[in-house]
Amino acid sequence: MPLPQALRRLAPDRLRDDPRLRAVAVGAGLIPPRTMHSDAERELLQRLGRDAGRVVEIGVYEGSSAVALAQVMGPGQELHLIDPFGHHASALPSGWGATERASRRVVARAARHDGPRVVWHVAFSHDVAPRWSAGPIGLLFIDGDHAEAGVQRDWDDWHDLVAPGGHVLFHDAREGRPEGRGLPGPTAVVDRLLRGPADPAAGWSIAAEVDRTVAVRRAS
């Protein structure tokens, strides 16, 4: 059973953010995984993932968005989770990190009751893409390396694997947009691909935007 929120707030930041202590507490269910999305982003993620068939998430961290997906996906669907784990400077804030074991336990708890088949890829996304054989992807969630080059590489490596009519979600990709937030790297990639006068992402269009997230759809 999770510890009461009032009790969790008493812990100083250095304890709350310590990756080793968090791994123990998150894995045991004493505290929830750190939420990396707003309520509106969660609704969008679940709406697109519910009927996607096969979902790929790049960048799992403690598993909060994977849990959101597992809660709406059924046993006939696949949820592929890609993360090398540990700390990576262009993926997480300084000092943050997660462990494979804790994140696996978090997602397993969410998926065990009529949830999807969960497939883990403990590796960098650019190492997984060349050997991908699972089939077309209905929803691709890019939320790993937030450097511009890293986001661009994830797009380049993965977007052709998305099925016609499928979606790609970019997190932290609305810096400077009305009512938006984000980071320079993901925002620059989305702007270059889908907002400029050129058309480098032919066959793709922006389907939805909320808070820090941009959803793009492949033409069917």
- In this structure, the dihedral spanned by the alpha carbons of residues 116, 119, 79 and 54, taken in order and rounded to 10 degrees, is -100
- Which CATH number do you get for residue 78? 3.40.50.150
Q: State in Å, rounded, how far the first CA of the chain is from the last one.
A: 45
Asked if the structure places residue 192 within a domain, the reply is yes
Domain boundaries, position 203: 33-218
Asked if the structure places residue 46 within a domain, the reply is yes
State how many domains the chain has.
1
Asked if the structure places residue 28 within a domain, the reply is no
Asked if the structure places residue 189 within a domain, the reply is yes
What are the pLDDT digits (tens) for 40-80?
999 999 999 999 999 999 999 888 999 999 999 999 999 99
How much is the average pLDDT of 207-214? 97
What are the pLDDT digits (tens) for 138-161?
999 999 999 999 999 999 999 999
How many whole angstroms separate alpha carbon 98 and alpha carbon 92?
A: 10
Specify burial of residue 109 (Cβ count, 10 A radius: 0-12, 13-18, 19+): middle
